Structure 1
Amino acid sequence: MIGLVSVKHTVSDCRNIRDIDPCVCLNNRLVPNKISINCVGDSIDDYNIDTILDQLNQQLLTNPELILDSFRLTKTSVTVIDDNYFGVLPFVDIEITDNPYLRFDNFTDSSLLAAASSTLKMFYAASNDLIADGVDGSELLKVFNSFASLESLTLKDIGIDRIARNTFDNQLQVRLRFIDLSDNRISHIDEYAFFELRNLRSLKLDNNSLVTLAANSLAIRLPSPVPMLLSLNANRLSAAQLSPIVFDNLQRPLILLIKSNQLDYFPESVFRQFIESDDNYFVDVGDNQFVCDCQRHRWLFLMKPHLRSKVINMYCNSAYSIWHYEDVAETNCF
């Protein structure tokens, strides 16, 4: 037929990917046309990573049957990821770890371009020097709001200092289930930061600098019957700085980890509805310095045994659990 050109299909694996040293191409054993690119080592720097990714772009464009399943950038000398860095590569998973000089100050959704907006499922970044002092780290989080296929987002130990209002406000982002923002400098979560994440299953905020949680800091707009893990371990949260409805506004069954904070008592206004709800599973409050006085904790001893079991690792300035003092409480508190 006039105007048509016959195209011979080539082998869909790493044999089509050349000239990307010192990065390496790895085949997927189960799916031959899926490949992974690993760039590991300090010999990879700003100069050769540009050349490598340019080569990769060209070769993927000439082999459209190839799927770039994952890209790994680890322990390199790369200093910057700027707009158009990844060209037209339709990534599925991206892992960026232990790059001591890497900065994300100019990282935007354009850095991954439209090619990845419908394919990116996992983004993992940890232990990089990503955000300079004085730069609003919440802007980096908003970059990932446009990726509708994103399922898992990890940004650990990169200097994020706050989570802004409506950070995740894309109603089409229904696949995002796992967020890990541990080991940052987060001191504040604005209201409605996670509001549209209707299918969120795990939110980890461990080892940050949170002091307070307002009523809608963790609010999610649509309720769900599916349990969610909320981990707030190793922050600076005090009982007086927790809104009475902060956990209610998540609107789903909850497993709550709030260990190693600054809780000196277990406030009834915050936790009574949590404990009495059949939906919620348990709250682990280990390694807090509780002062188990009658005035503030009488309500716990009045609860039925099966409800008490939801409060885990509550110790009272000693080696003994609060329930060890039940006889004393019956004598002195009632």
Structure 2
Amino acid sequence: MPSPPLTPPSPPPPTSTPSSLPPPTSTPSSYPPPPPSSESSGEQRVKCKNKNYPQCYGLEHTCPSACPHQCEVDCVTCSPVCNCNKPGAVCQDPRFIGGDGITFYFHGKRDQDFCIVSDSNLHINAHFIGKRNQTMTRDFTWVQSLGILFGNHKLYIGAKRTATWDDSNDRLSLSVDGQTISLPDSEGANWQSILSAGALSITRTKNTNSVEIEAEGNFKIKAVVVPITEKESLMHNYGVTEEDCFAHLDLSFKFYALSKEVSGVLGQTYASNYVSRVKMGVVMPVLGGNKEFASSTIFASDCEVARFTGEIATNDFSNNFDHYASTMNCASGVDGRGVVCKR
């Protein structure tokens, strides 16, 4: 009689598994979660610092690829935005975004000063540094420092000359009425004084190379010292060498008390009757006018379009402009060449 067939051994019972996955970490329902960490890419991480937006306050974000090292969080939309893509920005070569939202370039000349804002109670000169490319008819230029007149005071903001860049080494130079201002290398470090023209405060927004300066009722300036990187030099054929990384300022401005007659390279774009003179539809719309905007020194108010008297004009219209600006929705173009603003 044949043997009965062998019965295969029963398989071991399955390993127990949780009945359900752990619940996801909760995030505010009205905002998308911040992007994952990108420390390996070297991109900067930024947070909303305005406690008036509790659903966004403290959430960390990665700077966009268009500005991996210079951005801030718009707490209203809870998203990172490039500092240099907003009206009032002056960055790079130098690239201006006017109060009207139109992007243009003003190259000026190296080792010379040009008035970028001139009004009755505010005059701002920019000192340009640069390098000549022998295949071009102009200098590559960047804003190295600002000389600011307001009331009867003088404020200086500058980037110190630097060979090899190290962001942990502060290269900012600050002075008020000839007095050097020294701040600890710590985010949030603050200097303030009550001047005849009102309160003035200077606050570090990073441990080094970045400050926010506000003159009560007059202006707010965000200034960041940045170098020309090797990658930028190769891309744009700047020819920057190891002897000088051309440390310069990337800037953003907000004004509280401009008059209708404000002028200057940037200031004129806030005037009530301003019509842009730049040629639109080109890759680099350039504004001329070296002669009319040239100043003799960093603190001189002798450019052809100067308006400075040290007193606030009676035809101030800042409140109207602030209302106009607050009703605009601005975003950078797809290729990053401009800003589009809509009511």
Relative to the length of structure 2, the TM-score reads: 0.19
> As a proportion of its length, which structure holds more helix?
1
Which structure has the larger Rg over C-alpha atoms?
A: 2
More relative contact order, 1 or 2 (CA 8 Å, 6+ apart): 2
Relative to the length of structure 1, the TM-score reads: 0.20
